Amino acid sequence: MPLIASRYGKEQVRVMRLTRDGDHHTPRELTLSVMLTGRFDAAWTEGDNRACIATDSIKNIVNVTAARNLALDKEAFVAAVARVLLDTYPQIEMVAIEAEETRWLRHSIDGQPHGHTFTRDGNGVGFVALVADRAGSTLRSGLRGYTFMKTTQSGWTGFVADQYRTLPDTTDRIAATSMDATWTWAAVPAACETANARILATLLAVFGTTYSRGVQDSMYRMGEAALAAVQDISEITFVMPNKHYIPVDLTAFSLDNPGTVFLPTDQPYGRIEATVSRGG
């Protein structure tokens, strides 16, 4: 029976390229599908894999191309990946690449674009909850899934060092999260929209402009600042899962990675929760 169509490749290849110009960083994050068509029929019809390129090699080609082309836009980058594949493997007849871009928007603090703090485009949803009875009511507002990142000024040090821990300490890493934040109103302000915007701006300013010793450290100081900025809220609750950006090891390809090429991954993830209250 004839084999009339076949192809294979690598899906969900995630890569972050980070260009650094002093304190001014630019992240470029893509999730790629790379599919190959060519003279691979024997792998299907005869169990002969000698012409087949390992899909792990396809992933590695994406990462190596990223390291060598940090500043290319997404259109030029997928073309560069395709060119490496076609130039390297004569058995490939066609490369089909699709890439979805995670768009990071540079955040402004005090009216100035910040060098290394970003929010995700199309970000988060507003949240409100009311519980009311005849004696009164409790109103809460907040955000769900609000995603933000800073590409430096964050560390991970001093955690329990036992036989199960494998992560090394680091004083400079990407810190990213998809935050759920809920604040409880002690008194409903005249303009909730304005107060909500001020709370968010305060949270992001603290996150972006202060060194983070861990999510817990940033979370507590963000909560303190929000309570100080808006007197109408009595407490604020956070759920902040880690979104990890893991430096890609390129030593097998004789390439350094000075904090410029990362594997974005959010499964599994650390989940950090806390409530900061005015007390009393």
pLDDT digits (tens, 9 = 90+) for 182-237: 999 999 898 999 999 999 999 999 999 999 999 999 999 999 999 999 999 999 99
| Residue from 10, 25, 116, 243 carrying the catalytic annotation | 10
- The answer to the question of whether 215 is labelled as a binding residue is yes
| Residue from 26, 55, 210, 237 carrying the catalytic annotation | 55
Residues 26 and 99 sit within 8 Å (Cβ to Cβ): no
65 assigned to active site: no
Using the structure block, give the residue that is written with the tokens 């703090």. 117
- The answer to the question of whether 49 is labelled as a binding residue is no
Distance CA 64, CA 254 (A): 10
pTM of the model: 0.91
Written as one letter, the residue type at 240 is M
pLDDT > 90: percent of the chain: 96
19 assigned to active site: no
pLDDT digits (tens, 9 = 90+) for 226-270: 999 999 999 999 999 999 999 999 999 999 999 999 999 988 999
24 assigned to active site: no
pLDDT value at residue 215 = 95
Distance CA 155, CA 174 (A): 8
Residues 93 and 39 sit within 8 Å (Cβ to Cβ): yes
Phi-psi region of 241 (alpha: psi -120 to 50; beta: other; left: phi over 0): beta
Q: Does the N-terminal peptide bond of residue 247 adopt cis geometry, omega within 30 degrees of 0?
A: no
Overall average pLDDT of the 33-47 stretch: 96
Question: Number of helices (H) and strands (E), helices first, in the chain?
Answer: 5, 12
- The answer to the question of whether 171 is labelled as a binding residue is no
β-strand pairing of 112-120 with 125-133: unpaired
- The answer to the question of whether 173 is labelled as a binding residue is yes
Q: Tell whether the model's pLDDT for residue 180 goes beyond 90.
A: yes
Contacts of 164 (CB under 8 A, 6+ apart): none
- Token digits for 39? 């003279």
Nearest to 56 by CA among 34, 41, 76: 34
Q: Tell whether the model's pLDDT for residue 280 goes beyond 80.
A: no
Please report which confidence band the pLDDT of residue 279 belongs to, taking 50, 70 and 90 as the band edges.
Answer: confident
Mean pLDDT over the full length of the chain: 96
Nearest to 222 by CA among 232, 51, 234, 209: 209
Phi-psi region of 21 (alpha: psi -120 to 50; beta: other; left: phi over 0): beta
